[in-house]
Amino acid sequence: VEMENMKKGKAKEVAKEKIKGKGKEERRKVVEKGKEKGKEDCRRKDKEQEKKKVQGKETASEKKQFKGKPEIEKSSSTSTAIPLEPPEKNKQILVLGLDGAGKTSILHSLALNRVQHSKEPTQGFNAVCIDTEDNQMEFLEIGGSEPFRSSWEMYLSKGLLLIFVVDSADHNRLPEAKKYLHQLTEANPILPLVVFAHKQDLEAAYHITDIHEALGLSEVGNDRKLFLFGTQVTTNGSEIPSTMQDAKDLIAHLAADVP
């Protein structure tokens, strides 16, 4: 009996040891698993931090590129801005007036002796050479939109004479046209002036006598050569009206007389 009890006691001890060993093994596995999980978390955090750094660099790079973009756009837009000096060989006949007045259409029609409409506003300069019987006339049209008007005066000293074009039917803008015309005539009190009261074919157009009064042409100086023509360009491709041909002949005469 005693031997039997001893055997049972040993069996219990062995079972306890097995259970204890099993518990240690389980705890070891839990600890190892925890360590591995901790390492994995660390690796994941490292990856996230590295990703954030990369994203931060990309964002900074994008911001830098975006910051530089307006400068690129700004530099590319300078192609439409007026340069300091226009391309020229000799003194030229200046053609000025508000945007939409019809400056380009008049120039092209005079050059071709046929009506040539132009719908696109001039951005910057439009240089046109027109042949006459005796010589060649060089015209320089400068854009009439607001950004270009501030540079008109600086070219007066380079002009043989000034052609100023107004839209006879655009009554609301005649005071604005008058303001700029008088600024030009005050800046150069002797430059010959030819005014085109354009678009006379429109029903709302002012007669040239009304244009003379609206622009205050009697105030531009008594010592100046001044001429006013009522002009129009009607059917595209047709011969220019006689008034435009007369104006062309007069301009050639005035240009030839300038020393």
What's the CATH number where 164 sits? Answer: 3.40.50.300
Tokens of 178: 């008058």
**Residue 84 included in any domain:** no
Same domain membership, residue 150 and residue 72: no
Q: Are residues 72 and 111 in the same domain?
A: no
Rg (CA), the chain: 43
Number of domains in the chain: 2
Please tell me whether residues 111 and 235 are part of one structural domain: yes
Which of 35, 55, 77 is the endpoint of a domain?
77
For residues 142 and 231, membership in a common domain is answered with yes
Residues in the annotated binding site for Mg(2+): 104, 122
Binding site members for GTP: 97-104, 144
- 82 part of a folded domain: no
Residue in 151, 258, 123, 119 with CA at minimum distance from that of residue 194: 258
* Co-location of 230 and 115 in the same domain: yes
Cβ-contact 108, 95 below 8 angstroms: no
Query: What does the pLDDT average to over 154-183?
Result: 94
Residues 96, 176: Cα–Cα separation, whole Å: 13
**54 and 24 in a common domain:** yes
Tracing tokens 């839990």 back to the chain, one arrives at 30
- 39: its two tokens: 């390492």
Query: In this predicted model, which residue has the larger pLDDT, 63 or 55?
Result: 55
Residues 199 and 247 in one domain: yes
Q: Are residues 19 and 146 in the same domain?
A: no
Record the pTM. Answer: 0.65
The string of pLDDT tens digits covering residues 216-250 is: 999 987 789 999 999 988 777 788 889 999 999 99
Positive or negative torsion for Cα 220, 256, 196, 138: negative
Distance separating alpha carbons of residues 61 and 46, to the nearest angstrom? 22
Return the pLDDT at 76: 27
Residue 35's domain comprises 1-77
| Annotation: binding site | 97-104, 122, 144
Whether residue 234 lies inside any domain: the answer is yes
- Same structural domain for residues 106 and 63? no
Does the pLDDT at position 133 exceed 60? yes
Choosing from 77, 105, 123, the residue where a domain stops is 77
155 CA to centre of own chain = 22
pLDDT digits (tens, 9 = 90+) for 173-203: 999 999 999 999 999 999 999 999 999 999 9
254 alpha-carbon distance from chain centroid = 36
What gap in Å lies between CA 73 and CA 138, rounded to an integer?
A: 33
Is residue 59 located within the same domain as residue 96?
no
Q: How far apart are CA 61 and CA 43, in angstroms?
A: 27
Of the three residues 49, 77, 105, the one that is the final residue of a domain is: 77
- Helix and strand element counts for the chain (H, E): 6, 6
Domain match, 130 and 213 both: yes
163 and 215 belong to one structural domain: yes
